[in-house]
Structures are given as C-alpha cells and as structure tokens.
Structure 1
Amino acid sequence: MKLLLDQNLSHRIVQSLAKVYPESMQVSALHMSNATDQEIWDYAQQNGYVIVTLDADFP
C-alpha cells in the first residue's frame, strides 16, 4: 500500500512510515502544495495511493 499524505501532515511522517509503507509520499514532495483536493484525489487514484489527511471536508 502506498500512502499519500496531504499537505497538512508533516513530510517527516513519511520517514517514520518508510519501513511499512516504503512508496509513500507527501503532497509537497510531489510539488503539489497548491493543488486542489480534487487534483490530489485524481493523482492518488491514477497512481495507486491511499490519501491520508486531517481535512474533514476532503472529497
């Protein structure tokens, strides 16, 4: 499983998860800091990621 951490979660978490989820990324590492929630959703779907976010209103 690959996790895609939303920009509201620290990029440092990716390092902590690396052993269990080695292909995980954070949105800013993909240069998507200004992307809309829908763009992030689409990217995750197209690339096999599960989105991790604290946003209650994420689509």
Structure 2
Amino acid sequence: MQILLDANLSYRLVKKLADIFSDCLHVTRTGLPIPAEDIAIWQWARMNNQIIITNDDYYNLANTYGFPPKVVLLRMGNQSSASVFETLQKHIDDLQKLNESDEYGMLELF
C-alpha cells in the first residue's frame, strides 16, 4: 500500500509509519510546489498510485473525478502526530480494505 501524507500532517509521521506502511511519502517530497494545491496533490497521487491521508476535505475532488486516488479523511480536528499515528495504526485493517476495494474510494476516520 502506497501512502501520501498531505501537507496538513507532519512529515515526521513518515518515519513513525515506516513499520506499518513501508511505502509512505510526505507531499513535500513529491516535487510539487510548496504549498501544493489540492488538485495537484490529487493528480500526483493518481499518477503514482498513492492513497492520500489528509485532514482536508477532498469530497469535491472525489465527486468530480472519482477514484483513484483513494482518500483517507481524518476527522479528528487538530491532533498531535502521536494521535494521528495511533488512529492509523488502530485502523490498519480498514485501510487495507480500502486499498483492496474496487467499490470504495474514501475512508473517514474519527
């Protein structure tokens, strides 16, 4: 599973998530402009087969363009990196199901 962390998440999560997601990348390492627009992140993730993990609302892009890419929306408000890590770790099975699904393109975690 290839994961792309959006700019609103700490780049430090890449190292923390390495044991769970061996292919994890922060948007600042994609070569996109900083800050990158959501549509540019969406297109980059689509071309590179990445699942976007974000706090941003990507519903409009999902409704307009469909998937891929698939998106994990973190509906937790502003949380520490440790809290985000724990949430992703707790939902690893859900993330795997999203990755394998041909029917679903978005997962919301609270």
TM-score by length of 2: 0.49
What SS class does the counterpart of residue 4 from structure 1 fall into? strand
Higher relative contact order (CA 8 A, sep 6+): 1
Equivalents in 1 of 2:43, 2:26: separation in Å?
15
Q: Which residue of 1 is the match for residue 44 of structure 2?
A: 43
Letter in 2 for 1:55: D
| CA distance in 1: counterparts of 2:11 and 2:38, whole angstroms | 18
Give the gaps of 5 or more residues in structure 2: 62-110
Corresponding residue of 2:15: 15
Q: Greater helix share, 1 or 2?
A: 2
Gaps of 5+ in 1: none
Q: Which residue of structure 1 lines up, in the alignment, with residue 31 of structure 2?
A: 31
Give the CA RMSD over aligned residues. Answer: 1.1
Larger radius of gyration: 2
Distance of 2:44 and 2:7 partners within structure 1? 14
**Distance (Å, rounded) in 2 between the aligned partners of 1:46 and 1:31:** 13
Q: Percent identity?
A: 36
- TM superposition score normalised by structure 1: 0.86
